[in-house]
Amino acid sequence: MNMVRPPALKSGDTVGICAPARKIAPEVVEKAVKRLEAEGYKVKLSANLFGEEHQFSGSDAQRSADLQALLDDPEVKAVFFARGGYGFLRIIDQLNFDKFCEAPKWLVGYSDITVIHCHVNEVLGIETLHATMPVNFELDADSTAKMFGILRGEKIEYAAENKTAVANRSGKCEGELIGGNLSLIYALQGSVSDINTEGKILFIEDIDEYLYHIDRMMLSLKRAGKLSNLAGLLVGGMTDMKDNTIPFGKNAEEIIASHVSEYNYPVCYGFPSGHDKVNLPLVMGRICRMEVEERNVQIMQ
């Protein structure tokens, strides 16, 4: 499939913010709006952005209506998802992408937003941006600046050091970059939004998971054939992992390494993207070149 690239943003463009998952405080969004305006954009907030239904930013109907309005709005050239949490899986099947496909726009976020990355890449053949969100624009200035650069059309060139205890598996590869949060990739299996990993570079990251669950998810992907024919594997942050009273015996990277040990493609660990302070943006659905050495990686898109 030839992936469609949404148009680059220009100064004066209108962008939208909605919250498809967990609720968010107005003061957090207010800071993000100022940053977006400083970048030269007009900002449109979704109608129920500050809604509240338990942990969610409004009901499923409200959240899906908010995103639908931004997808359909011809003035809006990019949609920024305010934050992650949990909730996108509850509304993805209520969305109609007809107008979005006629005039694609950038969809920006990570974590729970993996749901729409996978769906839009796999089903619609349109690139999306895995990047920081309004809730943490201020967390790392460089990550946020790089995100805006990519949205303006700048290419990606990264050189990163692997600081984990597990060494990379060296090699060069090229393929479409797909994936995101491991828990969501796992949850999407068997659905219309499930990803085809054949010949692609799979990116995974996660936070606040038990180590045994990382093991279970990797086993599930392996049994589904999703790890056997990759072009390469890019492992981002495995942040704040949890263990049981009786230790699992391996950290997250060691668990992942054990499940891909029989394959020959390059594997990079500890890439600074995901739920850590540094969250380098990646274009999902775009061809990626990855050159991996034991302790370093170069990424080009």
pLDDT tens track for 154-193: 999 999 999 999 999 999 999 999 999 999 999 999 999 9
Residue 133 has pLDDT above 80, yes or no: yes
Task: Return d(Cα 137, Cα 134) in angstroms, integer.
Answer: 5
Q: Which residues are catalytic?
A: 111, 205, 275
Q: What is the DSSP string of 127-187?
A: -EEE---GGGTTT-HHHHHHHHHHHTTPPPEEEEE--SSSPPB-EEEEEEEEEEEHHHHHH
Percent of the chain scored above 90 by pLDDT?
99
The pair of structure tokens assigned to 157 is 């060139």
Residue 1 has pLDDT above 80, yes or no: no
Nearest 5°: phi and psi at 103? -140, 80
Q: For residue 215, what pLDDT band results from cuts at 50, 70 and 90? A: very high
The pair of structure tokens assigned to 122 is 């796999």
pLDDT value at position 203? 99
pLDDT value at position 265? 98
Residues 6 or more apart whose CB falls under 8 angstroms from that of 293 comprise 168, 170
The residue written with tokens 């650069």 in the block is 149
Tell me the average pLDDT of the chain: 98
pLDDT value at position 2? 87
Cβ count near 203 (within 10 Å):
28
Residue 252 has pLDDT above 90, yes or no: yes
Task: Return d(Cα 140, Cα 121) in angstroms, integer.
Answer: 27
Q: What is the mean pLDDT of residues 73-85?
A: 98
Cβ pair 101, 124 in contact under 8 A: yes
The pair of structure tokens assigned to 270 is 């500890």
Strands, E assignment, the chain? 14-18, 42-45, 76-81, 106-109, 128-130, 157-161, 171-181, 201-207, 232-239, 267-268, 282-284, 287-292, 296-300
Cβ pair 94, 63 in contact under 8 A: no
Q: For residue 122, what pLDDT band results from cuts at 50, 70 and 90? A: very high
CA dihedral 108, 113, 118, 123 (to 10 degrees): -70
Task: Return d(Cα 280, Cα 257) in angstroms, integer.
Answer: 23
Cβ count near 2 (within 10 Å):
5
Higher pLDDT: 1 or 108? It is: 108
Q: What is the mean pLDDT of residues 240-268?
A: 98
Confirm or reject CATH 3.40.50.300 for domain 14-151, answering yes or no: no
Residue 67 has pLDDT above 90, yes or no: yes
pLDDT value at position 92? 98
218-229 pLDDT, tens digit per residue, is 999 999 999 999
Cβ count near 32 (within 10 Å):
22
Q: For residue 40, what pLDDT band results from cuts at 50, 70 and 90? A: very high
Delimit the domains of the chain by residue range.
Answer: 14-151, 157-300
CATH domain 157-300 topology: Glucose Oxidase; domain 1 (3.50.30)
DSSP state of 209: -
Q: For residue 125, what pLDDT band results from cuts at 50, 70 and 90? A: very high
